[in-house]
């Protein structure tokens, strides 16, 4: 299956996105389609042996919209950077208002005088008042309306085109409402002319006061004001992604034959030696070859404290070099860097839809045709059944058309997802899809891997217990014996020796004994380093040290016994300590009401020690990596919604099996297919924030959908005049247009509240 992203043009509401999705679902080879109204993009998964991208684009065009393939990650930025489009909208809006103001004044100057006492210049009275000036009054309004319609021609062009394709959208409702008002006004001009020609002044009076030109202009202008304000608010939803894109430097300095050369970032190759001075951002992922510095990684991880780096340490693209000049060998460049992977991940995530959005999409697909039907029925009912004037019935139909707002339904989910995911990314939390975000809201069981998740994943020496040797000689022997070992315990001893500058004992020969330890020869004498099984096999008496061995094991430590062929020399205990944040994270997960299980391959004694230390409710120990998936499946069969938190490598099958897979990462292996969410800071507390963020976003989506539905449920009957017979309440088309614009703005502004989400307190 091939996954591709497309840029879509011509969409104005969720009826458009639903139309495109339903059209493409009919094509052979299509697997999944997600159309995002907010980003004007489409994600398609299809069988490339059956279908081509050209056929997909053609299908979208036949549906009445435009489609094109993106051109690398620059398209992501172009999708979000809508400054040119916003500027055009602003200019059109200013032009519309400049012509609308005199139009409104001319059409309503008499009313304003009677209601507010606003004086009317004599020139206005001479030109426009009275039946004798009715044609001048009407034509002037019509001439002022024409520029307004030209400034807003997209509503008519797109709306009528989609109506022609039997796929009416929000633009269709606006176009129909405005054009109907305009046509009625033109009809009124003819009636005024007939009245003046025949001397029928009552006819002239009737139609000169019911022109509706101001309504036609006001409808599109108010909708444009709403769209412009909505665009300004929507531009803020992609702030996090745009901020990440702006972090990437445009140039890099490389060293060739000891000369510094500046090249464009897209010319950088794997293996290039980079020179990065203080104050410069790192252009690629790589390893420090020379220099010591501190790196500000806050832009990617959210961690405010700079991190010390030296030779051999990894550095990440887009992070800021603070103090020293360093030389770095580039390992990942271009689209392979951490920054670009994060951008692509976020872009895919914000294009995706949460399952809850399907409700709105289904309704939106049928919404506009139903609204048009309601408008026609209501107009006919008021005219033929209620026996009202054609003007009254006509205004009812227009009000229904322009107050209906499928746009609010379509924006309810994507704006909340984009803002929520952007806020998560700012804190080092990447959630891959809207579906994962919604699932996190329903999780009731958290399964935690131990090594690298709860613990640091780096064993360290905790106890040094000399017996027949002093501590210095014991450590020298240990470091010497472990020099060639690949075991994590050996790595802990070597690191300790390096840090404390311990000179290793020279070892003549060394042999690893699988699962037990090592045997070494030093100056013709045999020495052992290993567990109790090894030493018992070598017939050494462990009676005196067994109590200490058991004590260390109960504390979650692994004792490594050193001995000669005849006696015990000492014990060095190694442990993988819990991270500083693990206890607080586990307590926070408990407060969220989640069941917590630790799944580990360690023995039961070591697992119980960590369980008691961190107060973990349930532990399943001695589990092989391939069996972790089975335990997840068993929990799911019991009806639990399970989140698995692991390091994303050894736990890949379990992460894939879980309803929600959360991978802790050091920030360089971002795009792991097995995980649904990735925690860049490698901090278990961020798993808590995944759940909290999910709850906040889902609550926000439900609020948006509620108000979008309630608005239409109340607004459409009100526009249809249901309260008029009892209370005389009837919506003017201009008020209906203003209300429609406000509904979309309110949905976007409500979603922007998610920008206040933080890791310390609830929204």
Q: Which residues on adjacent β-strands are paired with residue 264?
A: 251
The DSSP call for residue 578 is B
**Residue 387 Cα distances to 71, 164, 182, 262, 379, angstroms:** 60, 32, 24, 81, 11
User: 114, 22, 34, 109: which is closest to 63 by C-alpha?
Assistant: 22
Burial of 444 (0-12, 13-18, 19+ CB in 10 A): middle
Q: How do strand 2-9 and strand 66-68 relate by DSSP bridges?
A: antiparallel
Rg (alpha carbons) of the chain, rounded to whole number: 35
The C-alpha atoms of residue 180 and residue 266 are separated, in whole angstroms, by 54
Q: DSSP letter string over 500-569?
A: TTPPPPP-SEEEEETTTEEEEEETTEEEEEE-HHHHHHTT---TTTHHHHHHHHHTT-EEEEEEESSSEE
Beta strands in 566-664 (DSSP E): 568-575, 595-599, 618-620, 642-646, 660-664
Q: HSE-up of 441 (CA within 13 Å, CB side)? A: 17
Which residues in 132-144 are b (16+ Cβ under 10 Å) and which e?
A: eebbebbebbbeb
3-class secondary structure, 749: helix
Spatial neighbors of 347 by CB under 8 A, at least 6 apart, are 5, 73, 76, 241
Spatial neighbors of 740 by CB under 8 A, at least 6 apart, are 222, 223, 226, 402, 403, 404, 405, 715
Q: How do strand 525-530 and strand 517-522 relate by DSSP bridges?
A: antiparallel
Spatial neighbors of 326 by CB under 8 A, at least 6 apart, are 275, 276, 288, 290, 291, 292, 293, 309, 315
**Residue 454 Cα distances to 462, 597, 598, 674, 759, angstroms:** 18, 11, 9, 19, 19
**Residue 556 Cα distances to 460, 552, 573, 578, 645, angstroms:** 12, 7, 10, 11, 21
Other residues' Cβ atoms within 10 Å of the Cβ of residue 399: 30
Q: DSSP letter string over 632-643?
A: HHHHHHTT--EE
Catalytic site residues?
Answer: 449
3-class secondary structure, 622: coil
Q: DSSP letter string over 144-159?
A: HHHHHHHHTHHHHHHH
Other residues' Cβ atoms within 10 Å of the Cβ of residue 422: 23
Helix intervals (H) in 445-487:
471-482
The C-alpha atoms of residue 226 and residue 195 are separated, in whole angstroms, by 39
The DSSP call for residue 453 is I
Determine if residue 518 is left, alpha or beta; phi over 0 gives left, psi from -120 to 50 gives alpha, anything else beta: beta
Alpha carbon 402 to chain centroid distance? 32
Q: How do strand 642-646 and strand 445-449 relate by DSSP bridges?
A: parallel
């Amino acid at each position: 299956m091939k996954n591709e992203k497309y840029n879509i043009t011509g969409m104005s509401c969720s009826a458009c996105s639903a139309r495109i999705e339903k059209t493409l679902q009919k094509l052979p080879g299509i697997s999944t389609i997600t159309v995002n109204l907010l980003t004007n993009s489409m994600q398609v998964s299809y069988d490339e042996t059956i279908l081509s991208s050209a056929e997909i684009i053609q299908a979208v065009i036949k549906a009445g919209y435009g489609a094109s393939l993106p051109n690398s990650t620059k398209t992501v930025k172009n999708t979000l950077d809508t400054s040119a489009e916003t500027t055009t909208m602003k200019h059109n809006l200013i032009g519309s208002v400049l012509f609308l103001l005199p139009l409104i004044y001319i059409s309503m100057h008499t009313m304003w005088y009677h209601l507010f006492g606003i004086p009317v210049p004599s020139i206005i009275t001479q030109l426009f008042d009275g039946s004798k000036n009715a044609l001048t009054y009407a034509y002037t309004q019509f001439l002022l309306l024409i520029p307004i319609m030209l400034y807003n021609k997209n509503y008519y062009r797109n709306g009528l085109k989609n109506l022609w394709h039997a796929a009416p959208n929000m633009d269709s409702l606006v176009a129909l409402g405005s054009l109907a008002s305009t046509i009625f006004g033109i009809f009124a001009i003819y009636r005024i002319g007939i009245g003046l020609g025949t001397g029928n002044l009552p006819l002239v009076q009737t139609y000169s006061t019911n022109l509706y030109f101001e309504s036609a202009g006001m409808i599109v202008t108010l909708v444009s004001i709403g769209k412009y304000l909505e665009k300004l608010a929507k531009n803020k939803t992609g702030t996090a992604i745009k901020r990440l894109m702006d972090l990437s430097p445009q140039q890099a300095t490389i060293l060739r034959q000891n000369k510094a050369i500046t090249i464009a970032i897209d010319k950088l190759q794997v293996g290039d030696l980079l020179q990065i001075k203080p104050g410069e951002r790192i252009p690629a992922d790589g390893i420090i070859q020379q220099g010591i510095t501190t790196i500000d990684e806050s832009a990617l991880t959210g961690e405010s404290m700079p991190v010390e780096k030296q030779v051999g340490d990894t550095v990440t693209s887009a992070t800021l070099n603070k103090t020293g000049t360093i030389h770095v060998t580039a390992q990942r460049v271009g689209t392979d860097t951490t920054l670009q992977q994060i951008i692509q991940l976020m872009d895919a995530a914000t294009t995706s839809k949460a399952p809850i959005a399907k409700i709105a999409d289904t309704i939106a697909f049928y919404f506009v045709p139903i609204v048009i039907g309601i408008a026609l029925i209501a107009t006919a009912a008021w005219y033929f059944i209620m026996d009202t004037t054609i003007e009254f019935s006509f205004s009812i139909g227009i009000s229904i058309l322009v107050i209906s707002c499928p746009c609010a339904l379509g924006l309810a989910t994507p704006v909340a997802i984009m803002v929520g995911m952007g806020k998560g990314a700012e804190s080092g939390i990447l959630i891959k899809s809207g579906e994962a975000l919604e699932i996190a809201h329903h999780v009731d069981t958290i399964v935690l891997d131990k090594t690298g998740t709860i613990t640091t994943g780096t064993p360290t020496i905790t106890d040094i217990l000399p017996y027949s040797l002093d501590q210095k000689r014991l450590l020298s022997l240990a470091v010497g014996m472990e020099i060639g070992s690949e075991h994590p315990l050996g790595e802990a001893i070597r690191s300790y020796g390096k840090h404390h500058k311990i000179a290793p004992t020279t070892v003549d020969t060394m042999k690893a004994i699988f699962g037990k330890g090592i045997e070494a020869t030093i100056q013709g004498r045999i020495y052992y380093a290993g567990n109790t099984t090894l030493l018992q096999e070598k017939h050494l008496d462990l009676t005196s040290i067994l109590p200490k061995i058991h004590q260390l094991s109960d504390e979650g430590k692994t004792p490594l016994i050193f001995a000669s062929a005849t006696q015990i020399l000492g014990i060095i205990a190694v442990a993988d300590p819990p991270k500083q944040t693990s206890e607080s994270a586990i307590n926070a997960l408990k407060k969220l009401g989640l069941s917590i299980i630790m799944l580990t391959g360690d023995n039961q004694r070591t697992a119980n020690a960590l369980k008691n230390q961190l107060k973990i409710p349930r532990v399943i120990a001695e589990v092989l990596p391939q069996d972790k998936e089975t335990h997840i499946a068993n929990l799911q069969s019991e009806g639990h919604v399970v989140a698995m938190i692991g390091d994303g490598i050894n736990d890949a099958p379990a992460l894939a099996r879980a309803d929600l897979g959360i991978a802790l990462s050091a920030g360089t292996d971002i795009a792991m297919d097995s995980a649904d969410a990735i925690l860049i800071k490698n901090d278990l507390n961020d798993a808590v924030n995944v759940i909290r963020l999910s709850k906040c976003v889902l609550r926000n989506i439900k609020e948006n959908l509620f108000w979008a539905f309630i608005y239409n449920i109340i607004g459409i009957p009100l526009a249809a005049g249901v309260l008029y017979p009892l209370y005389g309440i009837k919506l003017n088309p201009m008020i209906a247009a203003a209300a429609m614009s406000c509904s979309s703005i309110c949905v976007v502004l409500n979603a922007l509240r998610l920008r206040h989400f933080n890791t310390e307190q609830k929204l």
